[in-house]
């Protein structure tokens, strides 16, 4: 695996951290990786390892990793941040790869930057049934009505180090589905020195993460999707049952007909995988990215 370089960039008053592997080569697309809610750029490390010597960029979105914890109003802001990031760096000829909320943000950015992307690969993007955004149907996930009451806001936020974080989280929820090496990366790069006292705290504050989950239905993305003219390859995991109300982050939030709304959409349904596709099987994620890019 080529050496990783860490960079910082001010985008609209928000300092964004980003990581880079390899160098841009003539005639070859670069790969831009955009992570999910609560995660960070280095969750992609094992996927990057499968991309050979390709030029790869992975960004910490605002409120995540080593980027500023600047509040946001709607999910539009994550797309706007990406547009500013790509524009300021002068990036072009990109394969955009997004997971979960990162897929949503990437689709928004691609709808505005029409000559930048050659294609998108979206792993279980959080783009729900169109009726959810119009209020015709409620989002049936069992989530509370505000971020304060969201269970994520009450996450443990104090650890002696990454090993303690790993031991505390590994048995919980969907973390047991992740490859151990990916989980180690998540813990190693998902902590920052505590603001007060000794030890470490989560790089994505629990309250911020909860607010992102609560804002997931606040931006109707479907008009933007129609403007994405490049090929879009969607990988969907096993979804929720229509009558399911309990919160289960391992199940897919992606509308099953999403690919039909992109002018060049392609659907790949993988019920054997969970929502954590790049964490559960980074080798598959890397192969899939490279396959669509050849």
Computed from CA positions of residues 73, 78, 84, 88, in that sequence, does the dihedral angle turn out positive or negative?
positive
| Cβ(33)–Cβ(50) below 8 Å | no
Distance from C-alpha of 87 to C-alpha of 108, rounded to nearest angstrom: 14
Q: Please give the pLDDT value at position 234.
A: 98
How many other C-beta atoms lie within 10 A of the C-beta of residue 186? Answer: 23
Q: Please give the pLDDT value at position 65.
A: 98
What are the backbone angles phi and psi of residue 29, rounded to the nearest 5°? -70, 145
Distance from C-alpha of 255 to C-alpha of 242, rounded to nearest angstrom: 12
Q: Please give the pLDDT value at position 149.
A: 55
| Cβ(200)–Cβ(236) below 8 Å | no
Q: Residues 236-286: pLDDT tens digits?
A: 999 876 665 566 889 999 999 999 999 999 999 999 999 999 999 999 999
| Cβ(157)–Cβ(200) below 8 Å | no
β-pairing verdict for 30-34 and 56-59? parallel
Gyration radius from the chain CA atoms: 18
Distance from C-alpha of 131 to C-alpha of 129, rounded to nearest angstrom: 5
Distance from C-alpha of 37 to C-alpha of 151, rounded to nearest angstrom: 14
Q: Please give the pLDDT value at position 141.
A: 46
| Cβ(54)–Cβ(22) below 8 Å | yes
Q: Please give the pLDDT value at position 1.
A: 65
DSSP 8-state assignment for residue 151: G
Q: Please give the pLDDT value at position 146.
A: 47
Q: Residues 103-121: pLDDT tens digits?
A: 999 999 999 999 999 999 9
Extract the residue ranges of the chain whose pLDDT is less than 70.
1, 136-149, 241-247, 293-294
Distances (CA, A) of 188 to 51, 53, 65, 69, 202: 22, 24, 11, 19, 10
Distance from C-alpha of 94 to C-alpha of 90, rounded to nearest angstrom: 11
Ramachandran category for residue 93: left, alpha or beta (phi over 0 → left; psi -120 to 50 → alpha) = left
Q: Please give the pLDDT value at position 140.
A: 47
Quote the tokens at residue 166. 């790993």
β-pairing verdict for 200-202 and 117-123? unpaired
Q: Please give the pLDDT value at position 142.
A: 45
Distance from C-alpha of 93 to C-alpha of 31, rounded to nearest angstrom: 9
Domain residue ranges in the chain: 4-135+216-292
Q: Nearest Cα to 224, choosing from 125, 87, 135, 88?
A: 125
Distances (CA, A) of 203 to 19, 38, 61, 65, 159: 16, 9, 11, 5, 12
Select from 3.40.50.1820, 3.10.250.10, 3.40.50.720, 3.40.50.150 the CATH code of 4-135+216-292. Answer: 3.40.50.1820
Helix (H, G, I), strand (E, B) or coil at 144: coil
The strand pairing partners of 120, in sequence order, are 96, 232
Q: Please give the pLDDT value at position 258.
A: 98
């Amino acid at each position: 695996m080529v050496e990783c370089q860490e960079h910082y960039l001010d985008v609209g008053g928000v300092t964004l951290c980003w990581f880079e592997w390899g160098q841009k080569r003539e005639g070859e697309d670069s790969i831009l990786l955009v992570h999910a809610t609560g995660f960070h750029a280095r969750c992609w490390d094992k996927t990057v390892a499968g991309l050979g010597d390709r030029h790869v960029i992975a960004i910490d979105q605002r409120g995540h990793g080593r980027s500023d914890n600047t509040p946001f109003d709607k999910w539009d802001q994550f797309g706007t941040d990406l547009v500013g990031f790509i524009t300021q760096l002068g990036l072009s000829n990109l394969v955009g790869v997004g997971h979960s909320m990162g897929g949503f943000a990437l689709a928004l950015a691609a709808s505005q930057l029409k000559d930048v992307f050659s294609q998108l690969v979206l792993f279980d993007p959080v783009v729900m049934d169109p009726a959810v955004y119009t209020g015709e149907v409620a989002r049936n996930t069992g989530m509370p009505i505000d971020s304060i009451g969201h269970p994520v806001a009450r996450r443990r936020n104090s650890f002696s180090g990454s090993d303690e974080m790993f031991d505390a989280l590994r048995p919980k929820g969907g973390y047991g589905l992740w490859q151990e090496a990916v989980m180690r990366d998540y813990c190693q790069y998902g902590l920052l020195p505590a603001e007060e006292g000794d030890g470490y705290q989560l790089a994505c504050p629990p309250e911020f993460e909860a607010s992102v989950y609560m804002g997931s239905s606040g931006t109707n993305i479907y008009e933007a999707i129609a403007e994405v003219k490049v090929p879009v390859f969607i990988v969907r995991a096993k979804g929720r049952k229509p009558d399911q109300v309990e919160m289960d982050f391992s199940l897919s939030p992606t509308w099953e007909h999403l690919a039909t709304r992109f002018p060049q959409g392609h659907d790949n349904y993988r019920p054997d995988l969970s929502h954590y596709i790049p964490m559960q099987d980074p080798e598959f994620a890397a192969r899939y990215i490279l396959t669509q890019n050849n």
